[in-house]
Structure 1
Amino acid sequence: MLPKKMLQKPFKKKILDKSISLLPDTYKEVVPYLGYLLSIPLSSEFEKKIKYLDAENVKIQIGVALRNLLLAAARQKPLLLIIEDYHWINATSLELLGFIFDFSKPAPLLVVCSSRPDKESLGYQAKRCIRESLGDRFNEIILKPLDAEESSKLADNLLSISELPAKLKDRLLSKAGGNPFYLEEIFRSLIDHGYLVYASGKWKPTPQFSMPDIPDTVQEIIFARLDQIDSDLKSLLQQASVIGRNFLVHILEYITKIDSLMMSLYLATLEEFDYIRILTKDPKLEYIFKHPLVQEVVYNSIPKKSRRELHRQIAETIEYLQHDRLDEFTEMLAHHYSHSNDYNKAIAWLKKAGKRAKERYANDEAIKYYQNLISISDRISSKQSAILLQQESYKALGDILSLKGEYVKAIKNYDEMYRVSKDIVTHSTARRKKANVFFHQSKFDGALNILNEAEEMIREKSPEATLELSEIYLLRGSIYEVRGLSTKAQKEIEMALRLIEKLKPDEQIITITAKGYTKMASIFRGRGDYDQATEMYMKSKDLWEELNNKRGIANTTHQLGIVHHMKGDYKKAIRCNKESLTIVEEIGDKKGIAATSGSLGVMYSYLGDYEKALEYHQKNYKISEEIGDRRGVGSACSNLAKIYLMRGDHKQAQAHFQKYLDISEQIGDKVGMSAALGNLAILFLRINKLDKAEEYLLRTERILRELGNKQLLITAYTYLAEVQLLKKGSIKKALEFTDNALSLAEEIGSKPGMAESYHMYNRIYGSMKEYSRAEENLQRAVKLLTEVGRIKEVINIYKEYAQMLKDAGETERAGKYMKKAEEIDQKSRES
């Protein structure tokens, strides 16, 4: 056996050389992910691009890397990619294929997929999506069964048998039913059985020819042929079939104890009989069965007991021969041991394969491994071990299905986890995870009820129980936060953090604590308490740095940038986001790069640097589109629209806001829908289409009430108030909407929301020339905005009120407020 490094070196060099030649400027964005996909260790420079990414981002990067490499190859010269037996494609390969198909600019790349018309296969079900994605670049050629004349021609082409009895030929063509593979196999069967011989350059019936029995199916033909070959050859072929459709010769030699010379002769004979063909010679000789049906029939010809024993022998052989690189054979070992009677080894390797698939975001593969573990659990002797295996597998299945958005199936598995488990903490965990699914479905009341049930179960004081209880409080806090109940949310998260402090810190505990601080920061930020938010984000950042978790550091730094942005300190906000961008670019987190670029675009737009803002928003759009993140594409469209709106290009702004709305509706993103509708309403306000603005704001309000998002409802109500204000004579309605906004802001303790409401009162009373009431509300707004550090907004509302007074002829009063604005602006610049 060649040493590991010798086997991997040629592949490593090929990947590097090909990537550099095709993508000389960006090969470093391709090599790490291809190496990971092929389990080839690379230098530390490349490996750190994988180290800090989660499973979803690794999957995205692999897809993007493959697509970019193929497109680069296609642009050098037209490229043909052939996928045989597409009807057997698995979900992971299909997702990668989706990435290849998902590009905006056509390229000279032809992908040919040969497939049976199997309506139950994943490939068939995905065909509609691929057709929609490619449009007129998609073409389907449906091959019908051969008719009688075509079948007869094929038979004549396969074998020139002028003396074949017409009656037999008619029977063969009738049985074939237009299937070319059947015809090929039946003629080979006639040869194997000695009915046909080759003489004088053509095939002819033997002198003692008699009418043979004709099998009904291809499988029966293959089985009949198999019975005709030498017993040693048959045994060898059967053992090869257990290895798989393709098999390495050195593994076959080891399990059969046949020497290399004799093995070469046997394999050459089987190749001549058209059962197998060489797949590759480098770095190891590997054969493949000519057709999947051949391997299937040969495999099924082995008694089940013998098959299980062969699977065990093959697995043990792989463990022995590949002992220094077993990780690369995880899936193969899981397959063979799971089909053997060695249940302990089967469980061990299925767990590894399931975990590995989950880490690679190969969710459908992971599901199969965990389902297999549940099946095996019934066969192990220890009842306690069986229970632990089942609850672990049901938990993993629930987590994967929840991640996929298959919530009904996820709940079913969490319920099964609850049913099979015997300990209280696991019962509680099963319920909490079910509550988390409800949370993602926006079923907040149901989620809270389940969490209360889960909390009631915890009676013990063990570290496991304490950790579980803290997780319950954290989830409950998240639900309250989404519903705008920030005081309740803060209380829950504080209780969670107090509990966690009692536990011995390890990586899991530190991670949960960091996330808890981040949640607290989010609550403070929502209220406008930016100093407290900053403190919490800094605590979270310190913990991520302790773990050297670069994604955590980058995310927290990004959030700190948003806090500085909300305080109006755009330069500090930009510094934080550039620091975050450097980290996410270093670790190859494309989602992070896109999000941070979008934030930088927003910040530059507030500084009035629209060119720089546009550059970052376009970068966000390009990356989001590249990785297939439709929500990200929609968000980037919204940000681009805001730039166009600021520039006065209302047509482009409306087109981009509408695209954001269309995408949000297509993917069912209600938060996105409310944001897009709200932004379109603001656009209509700008161009004085007040009825249209009101229509869109009322649609926004309905969605936000459904979501229970009180923070955004405050903004919706203040804009509705503005519409009524601009509609002369609708002052009463304007005040009612402002009352609604202030009531919500006070309920959730949002200082920015209260300031927004008081500012609207200022505008309403100012329009009524009730200046004392207008100025009373103006000062309330200024006080709150000053407390939260939003000085630029203070300057703007003073200027706005000064202009209102000036337009009303109150020149002296207007000058007083304009002077205040200028003084604050000057102090701000000096500081």
Structure 2
Amino acid sequence: MIKCPFCDYQQIDEKVIFCTNCGSRITDDTKQSSASERLKFWGGELRMLSVFFVSFLGFEKLIGKKVYRDIMINLRECMTDVEAIIQQFDGTSNQIIPDKRILGIFGAPKAHKDDPIRAVRCAWQIKDWWKKKKNEVKFLGSVDLTIGINTGRAFFGYILEESSFLTVIGDMINTAARLTEISLPDEILMGENTRDRVLEYVDVQHIGERSIKGRSSKVNVYRIENIREESEIFPSQKIPIFGREAELKKLIDIAKSLKKGKASVCLITGQMGIGKTRLQEEFQNFLAEDRSFNFVEVHCSAELSSPYFAFDFLLRHYLKLDVFDDKKKLADEIDEIIAQKGLSPLNAKGLKHLFLTDLQRLKRDEIFTINEEIYTAVKNLIKYESQKTPLIMIFEEFNKADEMTKHLISYLLQELKNKPVMFVLVNGPKDFITNIEIVIEEINLTPLSLRDIKNLVDFILNDVDDKLVEFMYKSAGGNPLFTIAAVRNTLRTKLIKKVSGHWRLEKEQHLPFLDDLYGVVMSTIDSLPGDYRLIIDYASVIGYRFSYRVLKGLFERTKLKEQLNHLVEEGYIILSQNDKDPMYVFRHNLLKDAAYTVLPLRKRKEIHQVVANLYEKLYVDQLSDFYEDIGYHYLSGENYKKTTKYYKLAGDKSKNLYAIEQALYFYNTVLKLNKDSEDQVDIDTMQDVLLNLTDLYEITGDVQKMKKAAEYGLRIARKDKNTENEVNFTERYAYVLFLLNNFNKAEELLLSSVEQCNDDMVEILSILYSDLGILYQNKYEYEKSVLNYNLSWNTARTNQIKRGEILCLFNLSQLHRNLGNYEKALDYLNYGLNNLIPADNMRWVVQFKYMIADINYQMWNLKKAKNFLLECLEISDDIGNVEVYLKSALDLAIIHTNKAKSKEAKRYLQLADKKVSLFIRENLLAEINLKKAMIYYNESNQKRVKDYTMSALKIAQKFNQKEIEFYCYNLLSLIDTESSLEHAKQVLDIAEMIKLPPLIAAGLFRMTEIFTQANDFERARYYGRKALRVYDDLKFNLNDENRQCYIRRPEYIKLLEI
């Protein structure tokens, strides 16, 4: 026995490396001595550690069977054995004899790159040792052993100034102790930090979240089920990366720049096989070791991506949502996660749309709401996650991403530009991102140099002839993938030969397979042994990404996991997700395509059919996640009946997630299959598809296609004698005619449909009345419009159709605002806010409040209008409602220009301009441009006034927006002095045609101004008196407070002076 020179502990075996008391190395090495002295000098330091407690339970039960001394001898022997195992793994141990525990420490005083897996392997060996020990010493049968492992930063050093005792303290140590306490006998539990670092080596079971004493939040706990000698994810250093040092450094520098608090975008581009995936893998290795970044990665390739596919995958992984949880459990998990992060329930609602999409028929406003809620939830979650640690999101094969993923990223780039978030887009198109303020970095990978190719070939073959290297360089053109393929091919064809340990080129000849990408890929596949090639064949039928469960269901292989690991190691596939349902991705899309195309067509069809059946069997409770995949496989297997079922469902999902293009594809495929099969598709499916198509074409503005779908659906419904669907299609057809300005025919159809409705059709009845309200409003028959809006409201209210009530109130409020019945409009709006709209439906809340702001502006209550607009600006920004945000910002700018506050007006105008770069509807653009024209008029910028006015007028005439036309001509009469009277007459003509008192008053006032300026006071007084009478009528209907504001309108004051 020897004595530790640092803590004077004397019971140390001469063979040990570390002191079992303080953890110091027992050596005469002066460097180690100085390191410990340094530790004594500073008192200690924070270290990244992996620790575990080994606890012996039940020794106290032996008292009475054995004398206390024998028990303590056995306990010390057990502890000594455990310490010896810890020392075998180069760890440090501390005995805690009163508690019958041992603390194993990895990472101090000596740190290793693989400390987490060392700790896990050590714990696993201790577990095996204990099984043998209990068999050898019978009376230990009632003694149990538990182990808890955790990883994190902790203090390592001297906790007392005079003490020479080294120890570790910190929350992560306490967590490890608590994990040991809740562990069952002979069980090893570990925390999430450890699990994340060792998952490639171990199989774990997530046993849930557990409350840990001393921690306010729960901890994810995992039980170790099995441990492997080799990593399941073979390291990318299998073939080192050559010639990409500068590009990797650039990526790392961009990541480090996130600490300045600004977002960044990096596009990684280059030809296939040039090393894009490999570069981002090396980047991930850096991020994993650095630990000062959060990062997530997703492959965007899929046969038929569901909407937001990339974000669905990323968020499931990041939030650790179990793919096999049912809908209720998934919803509860999302609620709990969002609550733990301190985010509002509205964010949970947005995330649920992604994972629990509503498949019922939704109307346009409801679809817009869902889209905004998704955008807002993802934005707020990313903002939260990047608050403390920069977040890096890597999108592989971004060129294959679905449109909704691309739209969402465009939105996030705009909204998160001042957040430490980095988007790495591998194969990201250069023209994808426009009109954003973030600097876009591009790393375009070019062919490797001759020197780099030499290093690559040297690594593969070891000791090669220069002539051979030159041949490989010339043949493969500096492409690393092609070079590897060339090496494999020449080895297989014996074109190169090893002479005296030195690889030489036997004969220089053309390698035809390198002439095209397909040849390269086929050569790569052909180099595989038969068993491995078969896996590639089956996987290629499943798709660009394939799950272990589905692949295993296709054919039984005892060593399938090991074979897949080999394919990962050799660079054919990538393990992109390793949990209950391991997911693999083809490393190169062309590899999948090449393998698939050479398979016999008949065999492919059979496999597709089996794959579709497997999805239905394996994911019976998660089918909505796989509608697109199942439909694709049934279509490829020529099972058209099943295809129409799943494509219809996929279309419903896409439509309700605002993925218009994807929904149109699925629905139109159903129509095509019906046509090809001579109307063999289920008639109910056909009617549902056509009804949803009419909604989609309404959103896209394709009126002729909407008309065609409505007519087709109406014929089928009448043939099927389905009264409810007949009414639905008639409503859609009437609405098309309304859009085509065929008001009389539309009115006739709507009235006849009202008569057809029975007591069970109250929802469609409410819609029909609402349509009639809109129709009469556009015919300028306002009494009929009010009547039908009220009928719609009463129908919805009687039958508790909340969304119908809200829509009717909004339409009624809008109509009364247009008519100048401001108090009545406010009554409707306040009733809706106080009694109808749910607190979490912020889209309707902000729309109602914006209209309140607008009405207050019309009454010239500028203070109230400004306050409501500021509230709307904040809410709409939070929930992602671009329309209300734009209008609120521009209205605030108008108010400030009225008060000659140009600086404030400019600020709000800039806020609006930043949002206009996002996608907005063309008819909304007319209103936006009109508001900008008003701002520039108040700022006396004549050129911009004219430009924006003419743009707004052109769009307004296209969409028959008479109110906007009115204001456009009014502005033109103000700036075009030569034609001011002509424009003013058009203004008055429009006002009298649409019969809206506020516009008639404004038109009369403009005529008054023109004749006053022309010194034609008689006609000025004529128009002035008429204008004043209308303004007085509007004023008379206001309460005292609003009347006092109204008489301060500039027009009213000027009219009183005439």
Task: Tell me which residue corresponds to 1:634.
Answer: 886
The separation in 1 between residues aligned to 2:576 and 2:641, in whole angstroms, is 33
User: Residues 814 and 825 of structure 2 are in contact (CA less than 8 Å); yes or no, is this contact kept in structure 1?
Assistant: yes
Q: How does 1:206-245 map to 2 (within 5 A)?
A: 214=511, 215-216=513-514, 217=516, 219-245=518-544
SS in 1 for 2:620: coil
1:311 is displaced (CA, Å) by 0.5
Task: Tell me which residue corresponds to 2:765.
Answer: 510
The separation in 2 between residues aligned to 1:301 and 1:153, in whole angstroms, is 34
Task: Tell me which residue corresponds to 2:420.
Answer: 108
User: Residues 755 and 785 of structure 1 are in contact (CA less than 8 Å); yes or no, is this contact kept in structure 2?
Assistant: no
User: Residues 74 and 108 of structure 1 are in contact (CA less than 8 Å); yes or no, is this contact kept in structure 2?
Assistant: yes
SS in 2 for 1:186: helix
1:79 is displaced (CA, Å) by 1.3
SS in 2 for 1:282: coil
Q: 1:623 to 1:269 in 2, by over 3 A?
A: same
1:335 is displaced (CA, Å) by 1.4
SS in 2 for 1:295: helix
1:91 to 403, 406, 416: 403
SS in 1 for 2:580: coil
Q: Does 1:159 align with 2:414?
A: no
The separation in 1 between residues aligned to 2:590 and 2:950, in whole angstroms, is 61
The separation in 1 between residues aligned to 2:619 and 2:895, in whole angstroms, is 58
Give the AA of the match of 2:354.
Answer: L
Task: Tell me which residue corresponds to 1:148.
Answer: 450
Task: Tell me which residue corresponds to 2:433.
Answer: 130
Q: 1:477 to 1:372 in 2, by over 3 A?
A: closer
Give the AA of the match of 2:892.
Answer: L
Give the AA of the match of 2:550.
Answer: I
1:562 is displaced (CA, Å) by 3.9
Q: 1:498 to 1:172 in 2, by over 3 A?
A: same
Q: 1:378 to 1:643 in 2, by over 3 A?
A: closer
Q: 1:659 to 1:584 in 2, by over 3 A?
A: farther
Task: Tell me which residue corresponds to 2:591.
Answer: 294
Task: Tell me which residue corresponds to 2:926.
Answer: 671
1:309 to 606, 609, 619: 606
SS in 2 for 1:279: strand
Task: Tell me which residue corresponds to 2:349.
Answer: 32
1:181 to 478, 481, 486: 481
Q: 1:613 to 1:31 in 2, by over 3 A?
A: same
1:101 is displaced (CA, Å) by 1.1
Q: 1:272 to 1:552 in 2, by over 3 A?
A: same
User: Residues 238 and 298 of structure 1 are in contact (CA less than 8 Å); yes or no, is this contact kept in structure 2?
Assistant: yes
Task: Tell me which residue corresponds to 1:80.
Answer: 392
User: Residues 324 and 621 of structure 2 are in contact (CA less than 8 Å); yes or no, is this contact kept in structure 1?
Assistant: no
The separation in 1 between residues aligned to 2:580 and 2:654, in whole angstroms, is 26
2:791 to 533, 536, 539: 539
1:181 is displaced (CA, Å) by 1.5
User: Residues 327 and 356 of structure 2 are in contact (CA less than 8 Å); yes or no, is this contact kept in structure 1?
Assistant: no
CA offset digits 1:377-420 (Å, max 9, x no partner): 5753x466599999997987786466346x5xx85x679979xx
With normalisation by structure 2, the TM-score equals 0.57
Task: Tell me which residue corresponds to 1:768.
Answer: 1017
Give the AA of the match of 1:328.
Answer: D
The separation in 1 between residues aligned to 2:605 and 2:629, in whole angstroms, is 15
Give the AA of the match of 2:617.
Answer: Y
Task: Tell me which residue corresponds to 1:139.
Answer: 441
CA offset digits 1:16-46 (Å, max 9, x no partner): 5553444x1x3412222223313499xxxxx
User: Residues 574 and 584 of structure 2 are in contact (CA less than 8 Å); yes or no, is this contact kept in structure 1?
Assistant: yes
CA offset digits 1:450-505 (Å, max 9, x no partner): xxxxxxxx9x999877766665554444555xxxxxxx95x666534421222134
Task: Tell me which residue corresponds to 2:470.
Answer: 170
The separation in 2 between residues aligned to 1:400 and 1:634, in whole angstroms, is 25
Give the AA of the match of 1:179.
Answer: N
SS in 1 for 2:394: strand
Task: Tell me which residue corresponds to 1:554.
Answer: 806
Give the AA of the match of 2:476.
Answer: A
Q: 1:693 to 1:243 in 2, by over 3 A?
A: closer
User: Residues 193 and 228 of structure 1 are in contact (CA less than 8 Å); yes or no, is this contact kept in structure 2?
Assistant: no
Task: Tell me which residue corresponds to 1:252.
Answer: 551
Give the AA of the match of 2:462.
Answer: I
Task: Tell me which residue corresponds to 1:599.
Answer: 851
The separation in 2 between residues aligned to 1:270 and 1:704, in whole angstroms, is 60
**Structure richer in strand, relative to its length:** 2
Give the AA of the match of 1:60.
Answer: E
Q: 1:210 to 1:402 in 2, by over 3 A?
A: farther
1:333 is displaced (CA, Å) by 0.4
1:148 is displaced (CA, Å) by 2.9
1:339 is displaced (CA, Å) by 0.9
User: Residues 594 and 624 of structure 1 are in contact (CA less than 8 Å); yes or no, is this contact kept in structure 2?
Assistant: yes
Q: 1:376 to 1:248 in 2, by over 3 A?
A: same
Q: 1:773 to 1:74 in 2, by over 3 A?
A: closer
Q: 1:546 to 1:94 in 2, by over 3 A?
A: farther
Give the AA of the match of 1:175.
Answer: S
1:144 is displaced (CA, Å) by 1.5
1:554 is displaced (CA, Å) by 2.4
Task: Tell me which residue corresponds to 1:445.
Answer: none
Q: 1:196 to 1:541 in 2, by over 3 A?
A: farther
Q: Mind listing any 5+ residue stretches in structure 2 that lack a counterpart?
A: 1-204, 207-321
1:109 is displaced (CA, Å) by 1.1
1:307 is displaced (CA, Å) by 0.8
User: Residues 782 and 794 of structure 1 are in contact (CA less than 8 Å); yes or no, is this contact kept in structure 2?
Assistant: no
User: Residues 816 and 822 of structure 2 are in contact (CA less than 8 Å); yes or no, is this contact kept in structure 1?
Assistant: yes
Q: How does 1:678-717 map to 2 (within 5 A)?
A: 679-680=934-935, 683=938, 709-711=961-963
Task: Tell me which residue corresponds to 2:182.
Answer: none
CA offset digits 1:530-574 (Å, max 9, x no partner): x76554333222333456544433233233444555676756644
Q: 1:377 to 1:142 in 2, by over 3 A?
A: same
User: Residues 326 and 622 of structure 2 are in contact (CA less than 8 Å); yes or no, is this contact kept in structure 1?
Assistant: no
User: Residues 645 and 685 of structure 2 are in contact (CA less than 8 Å); yes or no, is this contact kept in structure 1?
Assistant: no
1:184 is displaced (CA, Å) by 2.8
1:338 to 621, 635, 638: 635
SS in 1 for 2:487: helix
1:231 is displaced (CA, Å) by 3.3
SS in 1 for 2:448: coil
The separation in 2 between residues aligned to 1:237 and 1:692, in whole angstroms, is 62
The separation in 2 between residues aligned to 1:648 and 1:77, in whole angstroms, is 44
Between 656-665 and 589-598, report the one with greater CA deviation: 656-665
The separation in 2 between residues aligned to 1:461 and 1:357, in whole angstroms, is 26
Query: Looking at CA atoms only, which structure, 1 or 2, has the larger radius of gyration?
Result: 2
Q: 1:463 to 1:788 in 2, by over 3 A?
A: farther
1:738 is displaced (CA, Å) by 6.2
User: Residues 372 and 881 of structure 2 are in contact (CA less than 8 Å); yes or no, is this contact kept in structure 1?
Assistant: no
Q: How does 1:715-730 map to 2 (within 5 A)?
A: none
User: Residues 615 and 630 of structure 2 are in contact (CA less than 8 Å); yes or no, is this contact kept in structure 1?
Assistant: yes
Q: 1:373 to 1:192 in 2, by over 3 A?
A: farther
User: Residues 370 and 657 of structure 2 are in contact (CA less than 8 Å); yes or no, is this contact kept in structure 1?
Assistant: yes
Task: Tell me which residue corresponds to 1:55.
Answer: 367
User: Residues 1005 and 1027 of structure 2 are in contact (CA less than 8 Å); yes or no, is this contact kept in structure 1?
Assistant: yes
Q: Does 1:19 align with 2:338?
A: yes
Q: How does 1:439-454 map to 2 (within 5 A)?
A: none
SS in 2 for 1:76: coil
SS in 2 for 1:595: helix
With normalisation by structure 1, the TM-score equals 0.71
User: Residues 717 and 738 of structure 1 are in contact (CA less than 8 Å); yes or no, is this contact kept in structure 2?
Assistant: yes
1:97 is displaced (CA, Å) by 1.6
1:616 to 857, 865, 868: 868
The separation in 1 between residues aligned to 2:960 and 2:802, in whole angstroms, is 33
**Structure richer in helix, relative to its length:** 1
Q: 1:193 to 1:738 in 2, by over 3 A?
A: closer
Task: Tell me which residue corresponds to 2:699.
Answer: 403
